[in-house]
Amino acid sequence: MQILEARGVSRYFGGIKALEDVTFRIPRGTITSIIGPNGAGKTTLFNCLIGITKPSKGAVFFCGKDITTMQPHEICRLGIARTFQNIRLFKSMFVLENVVVAQHTRAEYSVMHSIFSTKKFLDTEKSITEKSLEIIEFAGLHEHAHSPSQSLSYGSQKRLEIARALATEPELLLLDEPTAGMNPSETEDIMGLIKKIQSLGITIILIEHDMKLVMNASDFIVVLDHGVKISEGRPDEVCKDPQVIEAYLGKEVVY
C-alpha cells in the first residue's frame, strides 16, 4: 500500500517549468531515492510534497488524503518531516533543545497551561524531554545532548538534523542530500542510521547524488531530468535504462 502519491505535479516559476506532470507512488515502509542532474527539480518536488511550494497543477496525497493546499505545519502534524540540503539547526541552542523544539509539534496543552505551569504542562514537558533524549541516543548523539549544536562536527550536525525531524514523529521522512559533503566513513554511518529508521517502519524518500549509496540502499528510484520523470523502478532496472544512462549516469553502472 502506498503512503504517498504525486499525481501530475507541475510547478512553474514564470516561464520556467521546474516540474512537469510528475507522477509516482511511494510504497509504505520503503526507501525511495529521487535522483537527477543538478537543476532537475528534485528539491522543488520535495517542497511541493511538504507544502513549502504549491504545485501549479496536480495533486499530492498522503495516506489517501489530499494535502496539496495544506500548510507545512499541518502536513508536519499529519506525519511528514524533512531535512534540508543546507544544515538549518538552531546553532545557539544545545543539541537537546533542538530536538525538544521539534517534539513540541506533538505537545497537547494550551497557552494557559504554560502560563500557569499546570500539572498537564509539567508532565508533558517531562515526557517531551525524555522522548527527545531517546531520539538523541537513537541518532548516536547521546554524548552531545548538552553540547551547543554549533560545536558538533559536520557529520554529527547532519545526524542532529535527522534526529530533529524524527522528533516530529513522522510516518514519512524526506531527506535532502543527507550525505552531501561527507567522506566514505561518514556516509556509511549515515546510511546505517537511515536503515535503522526504516526498521522502525518509517518510510523514507532520499534526494542523493552518491550513486553507489542510491543503488545499494534504495528499494525504488525515481529519476528526474529537466523537471520531467524519465524513469522509475528498482535499482537494477533504473541503472540499465538508456534514458537514465544518457541523462545522468553517463554509462551503465553495475553494483
Residues 97 and 74 in one domain: no
Residues 69 and 181 in one domain: yes
Note whether residue 7 is domain-resident.
yes
Match 494550551 to its residue by C-alpha cell: 110
pLDDT beyond 80 at 112:
no
**Of the candidates 119, 154, 189, which is a domain's last residue?**
154
Measuring CA to CA, which residue among 130, 187, 128, 131 is closest to residue 159?
Answer: 187
d(CA 76, CA 98): 16
How distant, in Å, are the alpha carbons of 12, 43, 58, 69, 87 from that of 48? Answer: 12, 9, 10, 10, 20
Q: DSSP for 184-199?
A: HHHHHHHHHHHHHHHH
Residues 183 and 230 in one domain: yes
pLDDT beyond 80 at 251:
no
pLDDT beyond 90 at 84:
no
Residues 175 and 73 in one domain: yes
Enter the pTM of the model: 0.91
153-201 residue pLDDT tens: 999 999 999 999 999 999 999 999 999 988 889 899 999 999 999 999 9
Pairing of strands 57-62, 2-13: antiparallel
Q: Which residue has the higher pLDDT, 1 or 108?
A: 1
Range name among 149-153, 187-191, 247-251 with the lowest pLDDT average: 247-251
Domain that holds residue 70: 2-79+170-249
The pLDDT of residue 210: 87
Note whether residue 160 is domain-resident.
no
Q: DSSP for 240-255?
A: T-HHHIIIIISS----
Residues 10 and 131 in one domain: no
Residues 239 and 193 in one domain: yes
Residues 236 and 204 in one domain: yes
The enclosing domain of 212 has a CATH number of 3.40.50.300
Residues 205 and 227 in one domain: yes
